[in-house]
Amino acid sequence: MRRKLAAGNWKMNGLRAALAEAEAITAAAAADGPEVLLCPPATLLAPMAAQAEGTALQIGGQYCHPAPSGAHTGHVSAPMLRDAGASYVIVGHSERRQDDGERDADVRAQTLAAWQAGLTAIVCVGETEAERDAANTLAIIGGQLAGSIPDTATGANLVVAYEPVWAIGTGRVPSVDQIGEVHDFIRARLEQRFGEGVGRSVRLLYGGSVKPGNAAEIFAVSNVDGALVGGASLTAADFTGIIAALG
């Protein structure tokens, strides 16, 4: 049975004072409940991991370079994330695909680097508004899955997050039927490629304007195993409400 996962992506938000919010979120993380993960900016990763040590709260990075080290000014490698206390890393987020020009091949390389460092990769996929309007959603998602996920995926090293680009930070949320269609499609593609055992063990998250008020409805959708949450994960009041809906 797949364990539910509530993952918070803090993006480029949070100074040291925000560690108080992370500490409050820790209280909602329990070994016998949904898994809870926070992915803070790189400057907060080590202190947040130290604060969470001995608790059920997991810590992750928001990106990793494909190389383990080298002359790559400003970048962070997967071994560095692991050394700082991370157990997960987000790769292929639409904001990096758009802002930094990351392609599926780049995401695939980052995923391999994450696995080699012992990190679980959260691979993000999602269509733009224009692609949705052109009825190309499933073709886009299928291509991203094929190009971004390496052949050695397992339920332990991979999580897939579906985030429609047009719903991220906009307040717009797809209908439950639209979410279900994509999540069922992703599940079928994973089973087809990796076999039923692995395909059914990979957790699928929904992301895009998830809030305490709509979380329960989204979590009731077929093949939704949790959420990748942006803005609502920045405060304990909002994120713990989402965790409670998942539990």
Q: What is the pLDDT of residues 177-214, one digit of tens each?
A: 999 999 999 999 999 999 999 999 999 999 999 999 99
Mean pLDDT, rounded, of the chain? 97
pLDDT band at 116 (very low <50, low <70, confident <90, very high): very high
Residue with tokens 């292929």, as numbered in its chain: 92
Quick check: 148 pLDDT over 90?
yes
Q: Which of 127, 139, 67, 73 is nearest to 97 (CA)?
A: 127
Q: Which of 39, 35, 5 is nearest to 22 (CA)?
A: 39
d(CA 116, CA 78): 8
How many Cβ atoms are within 10 Å of 100's Cβ, its own excluded? Answer: 10
How much is the pLDDT for 1?
Answer: 85
Quick check: 172 pLDDT over 90?
no
d(CA 90, CA 97): 12
CA distances from 191 to 129, 172, 185, 188, 207 (A): 27, 30, 10, 5, 22
Quick check: 247 pLDDT over 90?
no
Backbone angles phi, psi at 24, to 5 degrees: -70, -35
Question: Which of these ranges, 74-78, 113-117, 168-172, has the smallest mean pLDDT?
Answer: 168-172
Residue 183 annotated among the catalytic residues of the structure: no
Amino acid making up residue 181: E
Structure tokens at 87: 């157990």
Q: Which of 55, 57, 65, 114 is nearest to 89 (CA)?
A: 114
Residue 163 annotated among the catalytic residues of the structure: yes
Q: Distance of alpha carbon 153 from its chain centroid, rounded?
A: 16
d(CA 101, CA 95): 9
**5-246: which CATH topology?**
TIM Barrel (3.20.20)
Looking at 95, 127, 163, 183, which residue is catalytic?
163
Average pLDDT over residues 167-175: 86
Amino acid making up residue 100: D
How much is the pLDDT for 173?
Answer: 81
Looking at 21, 65, 93, 102, which residue is catalytic?
93
d(CA 170, CA 18): 23
